[in-house]
Chains A and B, each alone.
Chain A
Amino acid sequence: MRTKRWAPYALIAPTLVLMAVFLVYPIGSVVYYSLQRYNVTQPWKNGFVGLENFRSMFTEDPLFWQSLAFSAKWVVVEVGLQLLLGLVLALIVNETFLGRGMARAMVFSPWAVSGVLTTGIWILLYNPSTGIFQELARWGIGDPGTSVLGDPATVFPATVVTELWRGVPFFAILLLADLQSIPNDLYEAAAVDGAGRWRRFISVTLPHLKDAIILSTLLRAVWEFNNVDLIYTLTGGGPANQTTTLPLYVARKAVDSHDFGYGSALTVAGFVVLLFFSILYLRLSKFGSRA
């Protein structure tokens, strides 16, 4: 075709520039800052400190380990449940029934709602004096409980349910798209061979969905690891830092204490976790497709 050889480069140039300035350069500078003492409130003390930030992070900061552990728990529970419920939901809205389009639009809609807005909605719902549990108690269902977000015993499940509300549709949408691409003859052939509904799900549907499940789980795990807005506004990391994830800890170091050096060191630790996780996962998924 008669096109200049520089044409593709010209087309991707704006993207390259934006990525270099807002993604690549910042990663480099985070690594640089992590070796500095860099606190905006005490600029006269700033300077190179080598690995000091990392040393105190690993040896003197229980909150680092606590937030890392909570991040891991959050990702496993949240992504596992979202995948399971999302798959069930996708299978349901893939069937033919009256009002299916309407039902899809409704059950998917929380996905469009932001973390802060989700928080606003659920704070109203969980509110100790006018929330849903008080309403149910008026009808004689359950006790007029305390604040589910203030009680250390219930704050984790309450936060998980809130994120499920907006996260399940993500899996449902992706998996529905893939369900629609399964040729119907496969099911017919399986039915002719005498396969029941469950058998067809195991032998036809699941293998077909495998790649989509792996890819969406990978993406979602990273996004949930990085999720800040919902937890930040719902619990603020409390009570007693019980729901502080690593990115939330970074954000609070940066926003509240202006401790950019130590925050950067935490960020580098987070990058290492994500890098390790993504490499491991990519290998696993490749291994799966060869089998």
Chain B
Amino acid sequence: MSRVLRLHVPLALYLLFTLVPFYWMLVFALRPTGSTALVPWPITFEHFDTVWNGIGFGTFFYNSMVIALGVLVFVSILSLMGGYALARFKFRGQRLFLVALLCTQFIPGAMMLIPLFVIFREAGLLNSLTGLIVADVAFQLPLALILMSGFVRNIPVELEEAAMVDGCTRLRAFFAVMLPQLKPALVAVGSFAFIGAWNNFLFALMFASRQDKFTLPVGLSYALGEFNTDFGALAAGGVVAAVPVVLVFAVVQRFLVQGLSAGAVKG
């Protein structure tokens, strides 16, 4: 009985707090306009048709996917390179670099909007998906690199040394021995980057003013303002924006728990 009070009751309450908002959105997205039924039946897909084809969420989805996948690829590769350098080499300026990486966590993206806008304007990167990818990579890379170096440090250096004694170059040893060991690390860091880029709102709002370059968060924010009577459309847009990240998260959340403990907490 005490276990029920200590464990099951609070968990059930918290699950309610977590899931009711998700369910509320799903109900609005699936039931016809004007219905107040708590179980959406019969299910309608009219709202999805409205947002996907009518409001242009199909385009926003494509833009968000291109950006998030681009960021995933670049953050994974660059954090692997830098994380390996931090974990396996001693070099001049290493401490300074590490401190600089930590300091970037205190830099507010929102407060960098003005200079970044000027840089983007000068570089002709406004309204370009490439520009958004580059900015997201720059802001996400430091934390990813810290996490990755934690993962690399957790792999015994003897594995590599053995391969190099057997005649491998350092590069071959890395690809043959280290990379397979680092798969969970890549999953954690890559999904972290994907989720972060998928959700980035301010950069996309600021640097992409043309509707064909909107991302899902920007499209959704316009839907909040301009279609605030069409709750079905708003909810359907929300479902479109939520499904990929929540799926990614559900699949990789246990790697994230490991990754955060390996990289962030034990720095």
Contact = CB atoms under 8 A, between A and B. Distances in A.
A114 B198 contact: yes
A14 B78 contact: yes
Contact of A114 (B113, B170, B217, B265): B217
Interface residues of B, number: 92
A51 interface: no
Given A27-B115, A119-B224, A130-B231, 12 more contacts: A15-B81, A19-B141, A103-B11, A109-B18, A112-B199, A120-B223, A120-B234, A174-B260, A215-B264, A219-B105, A250-B113, A275-B106
Nearest to A234: B224
Interface of A: 1-3, 5, 7-9, 11-12, 14-16, 18-19, 21-23, 25-27, 29-30, 33, 88-89, 92-93, 95, 97, 101, 103-117, 119-125, 127, 130, 132, 135, 165, 173-174, 176-178, 180-181, 211-212, 215-216, 219, 222, 225-226, 228-229, 233, 247-248, 250-251, 254-255, 260, 263-264, 267, 270-271, 274-275, 278
- Secondary structure class of chain B's binding surface, majority of residues: helix
Contacts of A264: 114-115
Contacts of B231: 124, 127, 130
Contact of A21 (B85, B105, B138, B223): B138
Contacts of A125: 20-21, 24
Contact of A23 (B104, B199, B250): B104
A238 B40 CA distance: 34
Interface in B30-81: 36, 38, 78, 81
A203 B119 CA distance: 53
A16 B94 CA distance: 12
Interface in B74-123: 78, 81-82, 84-86, 89, 91, 94, 97, 100, 104-119
A235 B106 CA distance: 25
B185 interface: no
B249 A112 contact: yes
Given A12-B85, A18-B138, A33 B249 contact: no
Contacts of A15: 78, 81-82, 141-142, 145
Contacts of A132: 20, 24
Interface string B223-241: 1100010010011011001
B155 interface: no
Contact of A92 (B11, B200, B250): B11
Contacts of A275: 106
B260 A22 contact: no
Contacts of A251: 110, 113, 202
Contact of A271 (B21, B111, B221, B265): B111
Nearest to A24: B100
B178 interface: no
B21 A165 contact: yes
Interface string B10-30: 110011011111101100100
Contacts of A30: 111-112, 114-115
A89 B15 CA distance: 10
A281 to B, nearest CB: 10
Nearest to A134: B36
B198 A270 contact: no
Given A33-B115, A117-B238, A7 B89 contact: yes
Contact of A211 (B119, B249, B265): B265
Contacts of A176: 257
B256 interface: yes
B91 A113 contact: no
Nearest to B115: A26
8 contacts: A15-B145, A97-B8, A107-B18, A114-B245, A117-B220, A135-B38, A173-B260, A229-B202
